[in-house]
């Protein structure tokens, strides 16, 4: 199963593309500049559908990625999760250093 975009309602805000953990939503690779999901790497996480302000992404049971592509999609998602964790840790370390600096300087 995979997700599909109803392009007639898509406003090209890119929210789905930015949040997709497998980087499988594309924009510029079509004749018409509209967002499209490459079903091969879709892991059915539902993130794109949740962030879409137009509610135009839905689950399509008839579209089924092959096992190899699905495994590749899951590997992409694991790398995405690792990167997000690193980013979060980096932001946290920076915030802590700023708090300590302010506490030391008293302002």
- Which residues sit at the interface with ligand SF4, rule CB under 6 A? 3, 5, 10-16, 20-22, 24-25, 35, 37, 42-48, 51-54, 56-57
Q: Which is nearer to ligand SF4, 9 or 101 (CB)?
A: 9
Q: Which is nearer to ligand SF4, 20 or 69 (CB)?
A: 20
Q: Least separation, in Å, of the C-beta of 90 and ligand SF4? A: 23
Q: Which is nearer to ligand SF4, 28 or 107 (CB)?
A: 28
Q: Least separation, in Å, of the C-beta of 102 and ligand SF4? A: 38
Q: Least separation, in Å, of the C-beta of 46 and ligand SF4? A: 5
Q: How many CB atoms lie within 10 A of CB 61?
A: 7
How far apart CA 91 and CA 107 sit, in angstroms, is 21
Burial (Cβ within 10 Å: 0-12, 13-18, ≥19) of residue 32: exposed
How far apart CA 106 and CA 48 sit, in angstroms, is 44
Q: Which is nearer to ligand SF4, 59 or 85 (CB)?
A: 59
Start-end of H helices in 8-66: 15-19, 47-51
């Amino acid at each position: 199963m995979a997700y599909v975009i109803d392009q007639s309602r898509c406003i090209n805000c890119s929210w789905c593309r930015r949040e997709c953990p497998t980087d499988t939503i594309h924009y510029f690779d079509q004749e018409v500049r509209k967002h499209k999901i490459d079903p091969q790497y879709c892991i059915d996480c539902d993130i794109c559908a949740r962030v879409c302000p137009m509610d135009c992404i839905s689950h399509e049971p008839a579209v089924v990625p092959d096992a190899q592509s699905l495994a590749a999609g899951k590997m992409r998602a694991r790398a995405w999760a690792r990167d997000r964790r690193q980013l979060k840790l980096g932001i946290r370390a920076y915030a802590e250093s700023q708090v300590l600096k302010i506490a030391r300087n008293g302002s």
